[in-house]
Structure 1
Amino acid sequence: MPAAICLKTLLLGLLILLLNGCLGGGGGGSDDNASTPPAPPPANEPANLTFMSAAGIGVSDLDAAVTLYTQGMGMRELERLTRDNRTEVILESADARGSKVILMDFTDGIGRNFQQNPGKLVFYAKDPNQFASDFSAAGGRITVPPAAQPSVGNVVVGFGRDLDNNLIEIVGEPTATESFFGAFGIGVSNVDAARDFYVEVLGFEESQFLQIPGQYDEYILTSPVPGSSAVVLMNWTNGSVRNYTDNPVKLQLDVAYPERLTESVRDSGGDVSRDPAASEEADLEGALLGYASDADGTLLEIRQGIRGYLGAAGIGVEDLEAAVSFYRAGLGMQEVTRRSRADREEVVMRSADERGSDVVLMAFTDGVSRNYQQNPGKLVFYVKDPDQYALDIIAAGGRVTVPPAFQAGLGVTVGFGRDLDNNLIEFVGSADALQSYFGAFGIGVSDLQAARDFYVEDLGFRELVYLPIPFQYNEYILQGQGGSALVLMNWTHGATRNYTDNPVKLEVRSMSPEGIAQAISDAGERVTEMPAAATDSDREGETVGYAKDADGTLIEILRAPWQKK
């Protein structure tokens, strides 16, 4: 959670008098018993990780709401879905950080009150005043203009209401590029019972409990899985009536093991209206879908979660010891460990700055002939001193093919070289590098768009940028939830490239190895070994699986290290 959340909570206590005139009425909590927590999982059963992938709010005028959230709040429309009783517009924040927001236009003819939602949406903005100005110009209503608070580090906070009276909280955040959706608040009738359900049953973590005198009590919850917005449970204490029941909102939850989650909800006495199963809705294309609700009737839409990242990038090498020496002396990496596999020996290398994914040097021992000189990918390093880095590459036995030079169009210094096995090494000057770090791994692909769709739409990587490099290659730069970037490259300069079955691998770590293996299979690619307990002596207790993409690049499927505290 951004540091601004903690500062903001202190600030709210100082703004009570101001808020009393702007946030409207509230209501007290009830004395219902807390939900019964499920029994802890067996010691050998992985944690059932959950995160909020999207927050849904009902709207009375879909087009007007889309205009406000895009033009007034900087969000981007990603897609529109026709659901069984509603139309949904999925929005992503300007910075592509945090969970998505879903605007829901109900089509079932049932009357709903969209003006009484007792929750809130929290946005973090680089320029809160400009955010408020854009919000107002697009039809929103500012109730508390953003203002710096000197007593808490000059954090800027403001409040407004959208077209359906949803509370919008605006917080200044220096790390924002433009703005992002940081938290979703839902009203609850019993804040402690709701906390127990969301933490003990659904698997969120309690980050902080706040009491805002004369306004509301709230629990701020986060997920062990990074990258999503916080969930805030709110109970108003200012004496006025609030409706906490069956509000037209939803939490879309991505879950490592959806069936286990619905069992936990049932065991706690909660309501499950649909067990997870392939959806019959055309726009969901058979995606796993389940429904449950909390004690106040807030809809919980349960999906299969596979969020992951590139944990390591593997390249085959002809001479293992020579390669280790080059990557250490020439590229500044450190040897972490050595391990034996069924058909290869591996040395794991880590960058000098200990940032990004690991690099795995693989020496095959199965007697199968491989061409290590034709890999159409690349390894990208970000370095403090590009000129010295080039000298180190040469001194260690590598080649510098393009000396580092400042690229005015990019605003950075870039150079290129080749390692002992002819792998392309790109090194980029970076002010934030202490020495150097492994920033991206490129793999050659025969069909760039199809590869992009597989890694983004099916495996959940996020597209950062598409770059056509004239007379060289076109590439998509993708990012997982951590680790180095994954670059998909297709060469365009006419020379023949081999894209098939190159001796490289991607170690992909996911919140659900089984879920990502199923996603690969559903995409029509090959799962050669379903994730299961590892048999290698050096990784007891790990889950390992294997698959291949359309070009035969090996994908080693592993569990991400995220765990509930």
Structure 2
Amino acid sequence: MSAASRLKALLLLGFIALLAGCLSSSGSGRSSNDTPPPAAPETTPNLVFLSAAGIGVSDLEASVSLYTNGMGMRELQRLTRDNRTEVVLESADARGSNIVLMDFTDGIGRNFQQNPGKLVFYAKDPAAFAEEFVASGGRITLPPAPQPSFDNVVVGFGRDLDNNLIEIVGETHATESFFGAFGLGVSDLDTARDFYVNVLGFEQSQFLQIPGQYDEYILTSPVPGSSAVVLMNWTNGSVRNYTDNPLKLELAVAYPDKLADVIGASDGGVIREPSAAEEADLDGALLGYASDADGTLLEIRQGIRGYLGAAGIGVEDLEAAVRFYDAGLGMQEVARRSRDDRDEVVMRSADGRGSEVVLMGFTDGVARNYQQNPGKLVFYVKDPDQYALDIVAAGGRVTVPPAFQAGLGVTVGFGRDLDNNLIEFVGSADAIESYFGAFGIGVSDLQAARDFYVAELGFRELIFLPIPFQYDEYILQGQGGSALVLMNWTNGSSRNYTDNPVKLEVRSMSPEGFAQAVIDAGERVTEAPGATTDTDREGETVGYAKDADGTLIEILRAPWQKN
């Protein structure tokens, strides 16, 4: 079943649960303080996604315990805000939007029991999820069970400590569980739909009518990786409170000032224009506030979500390198381009997956050492033994023949290309031929580099992996493309981490916001993003920055567009 079909199925299944009486309600990028928000080019869509869904809770610590111990989430941080304390939670699978539990400290009475929406979780083992949910204080109103009408998808329902409806959906592709959709009650469904689609920029995915119960619009973002927003209006005659519920939507936006202008022009409620936050815990983050027609708080944040679009490596002999990456590593040439100081050949994996590799032949006469790159290129391959033979036949070296690694459960081998770049190749049953899966760059300070790429630039940390007596590494992932691996060698060898002839082509939903994040992190933007003069990519936005070790970051716009 496709993701869209599965989402439709889980929402339709709400009708089954309602008929059974189980739905009864008884009983989160930064901006400098001194810098205005980045301006949006007139023709550029202002992309938005749900970075976090906030719910008010009556007992913060009890709710944290339920959502972590009972629902598999992880606490990321605690924030002190003007009128509340917030605990930010991430799903066990680190997928979807975050959840923010809000404990209000302003003394204003609020009813936390009447939220007419829901929170939808996808779980690898719905029965185990329900068990842990109950053990931590939640209530199951309908135990998870297969639904024959919907390909036997397993669905169950429950209520958290504040009576929020929790929907549990079986998902075989989940590692553990993740927060997949946030249902928001609205008093006028079509008006709300028009506001969230035409003004805020979400896309309508589905309209569903559950006869005699509720109607709903399912909204998604063209920016991948976030949870869906579901607008819900109940039609079963029950009394629902749609106004001023203790909820908020944290919206990550490419151009926050432009969104505030559009909300204001649509007669929406702009409470605060985007500007540097004064709350100490937000460290000057670009922050604005608005509300929808029902008073739901919309927190507007700078969004820079992106991914590694291509990894560039300098090579001494461009044509020889092209031949090697073709014959030895199974890649195909897809483009050639000339830059001010170099010629580039773009290579794509045989499987067409992952980021591209850009081979860079420098033409500026500046001497560079191509033999000391302390990083690596990782390929996932169908046949590691044949891959090793191809590397050698193309003129490369195999330094560690492929062998099964019991601890990892995979076959791994190592080699070197013509310029001594480390090539790691990993056996993968789902590879048709091979694909470029990760790019490793050497960094002089591993923790500082991790903080820069994760906390400031928005990559997601997948794992910290120490390789005894060799190197330590952080494996990071953006919203697409190959992984980015930060590597620091621990074997006592001398490594050159500074100004290596490598580059990262990073594609972001907001190149201007991404560049500002680099500046806010204390690093260099050498060329602000703007319309390029390169003849082979007219109309594109291009900028350049460098990390602390001098690795070149080429900043480009992600191809995500509104439909």
TM category (shorter chain) comes to over 0.9
Deviation at 1:2, TM superposition (A): 5.3
Q: Please state whether the residue corresponding to 2:346 is helix, strand or coil.
A: strand
- 1:288 maps to which residue? 286
**Which of 7, 10, 20 is the equivalent residue of 2:9?**
7
Deviation at 1:44, TM superposition (A): 5.0
**Which of 530, 533, 538 is the equivalent residue of 1:532?**
530
1:23 aligns to 2:18 (yes or no): no
Deviation at 1:25, TM superposition (A): 6.9
Residue type of the alignment partner of 1:338: R
Separation in structure 2 between the aligned mates of residue 428 and residue 186 of structure 1, nearest angstrom: 44
1:306-325, aligned counterparts within 5 Å?
306-325=304-323
Separation in structure 2 between the aligned mates of residue 557 and residue 478 of structure 1, nearest angstrom: 18
Separation in structure 1 between the aligned mates of residue 485 and residue 4 of structure 2, nearest angstrom: 28
Separation in structure 2 between the aligned mates of residue 380 and residue 469 of structure 1, nearest angstrom: 15
Deviation at 1:174, TM superposition (A): 1.0
Separation in structure 2 between the aligned mates of residue 118 and residue 13 of structure 1, nearest angstrom: 15
Separation in structure 1 between the aligned mates of residue 67 and residue 235 of structure 2, nearest angstrom: 29
1:279 aligns to 2:281 (yes or no): no
- 1:73 maps to which residue? 71
- 1:164 maps to which residue? 162
1:80-99, aligned counterparts within 5 Å?
80-99=78-97
- Does the 8 Å CA contact 2:12/2:208 hold for their aligned counterparts? no
1:503 aligns to 2:501 (yes or no): yes
Deviation at 1:251, TM superposition (A): 0.2
Superposed CA offset, 1:252-304 (max 9, x none): 00000000000000011000010000000000000000000000000000000
1:517 aligns to 2:512 (yes or no): no
Residue type of the alignment partner of 1:524: G
Separation in structure 1 between the aligned mates of residue 74 and residue 223 of structure 2, nearest angstrom: 24
Q: Please state whether the residue corresponding to 2:373 is helix, strand or coil.
A: coil
Separation in structure 1 between the aligned mates of residue 496 and residue 555 of structure 2, nearest angstrom: 24
Residue type of the alignment partner of 1:556: E
Query: CA 1:195–1:377 in structure 2 vs 1: closer, same or farther (change >3 Å)?
Result: same
1:449 aligns to 2:443 (yes or no): no
1:545 aligns to 2:539 (yes or no): no
Separation in structure 1 between the aligned mates of residue 499 and residue 190 of structure 2, nearest angstrom: 55
1:347 aligns to 2:345 (yes or no): yes
Deviation at 1:157, TM superposition (A): 1.0
Residue type of the alignment partner of 2:459: F
Deviation at 1:8, TM superposition (A): 2.0
- Does the 8 Å CA contact 1:312/1:360 hold for their aligned counterparts? yes
Separation in structure 2 between the aligned mates of residue 225 and residue 294 of structure 1, nearest angstrom: 21
Residue type of the alignment partner of 1:7: A
**Which of 86, 90, 99 is the equivalent residue of 1:101?**
99
Separation in structure 2 between the aligned mates of residue 299 and residue 8 of structure 1, nearest angstrom: 27
- 1:121 maps to which residue? 119
- 2:238 maps to which residue? 240
Superposed CA offset, 1:337-388 (max 9, x none): 0001111000000000000000000000011110111101000000000000
- 1:218 maps to which residue? 216
The TM-score normalised by the length of structure 2 is 0.96
- 1:485 maps to which residue? 483
- Does the 8 Å CA contact 1:25/1:242 hold for their aligned counterparts? no
- Does the 8 Å CA contact 1:25/1:241 hold for their aligned counterparts? no
The TM-score normalised by the length of structure 1 is 0.96
- 1:29 maps to which residue? none
Separation in structure 2 between the aligned mates of residue 3 and residue 177 of structure 1, nearest angstrom: 20
**Paired residues, number:** 549
Superposed CA offset, 1:504-559 (max 9, x none): 00000000000000000000000000000010011111000000000000000000
Deviation at 1:328, TM superposition (A): 0.2
- Structure 2: where are the runs of 5+ without partners? 27-38
Superposed CA offset, 1:47-90 (max 9, x none): 00000000000000000000110111111111111111100000
Question: Aligned-residue CA RMSD in angstroms?
Answer: 1.3
Residue type of the alignment partner of 2:415: G
- Does the 8 Å CA contact 2:91/2:177 hold for their aligned counterparts? yes
Separation in structure 2 between the aligned mates of residue 533 and residue 413 of structure 1, nearest angstrom: 45
- Does the 8 Å CA contact 1:16/1:213 hold for their aligned counterparts? no
1:250 aligns to 2:244 (yes or no): no
Separation in structure 1 between the aligned mates of residue 351 and residue 385 of structure 2, nearest angstrom: 18
Separation in structure 2 between the aligned mates of residue 3 and residue 346 of structure 1, nearest angstrom: 42
- Does the 8 Å CA contact 1:74/1:94 hold for their aligned counterparts? yes
Residue type of the alignment partner of 1:61: D
Separation in structure 2 between the aligned mates of residue 42 and residue 431 of structure 1, nearest angstrom: 44
Separation in structure 2 between the aligned mates of residue 396 and residue 352 of structure 1, nearest angstrom: 16
- Does the 8 Å CA contact 2:15/2:213 hold for their aligned counterparts? no
Q: Please state whether the residue corresponding to 1:496 is helix, strand or coil.
A: coil
Residue type of the alignment partner of 1:65: S
Residue type of the alignment partner of 2:513: G
- Structure 1: where are the runs of 5+ without partners? 27-40
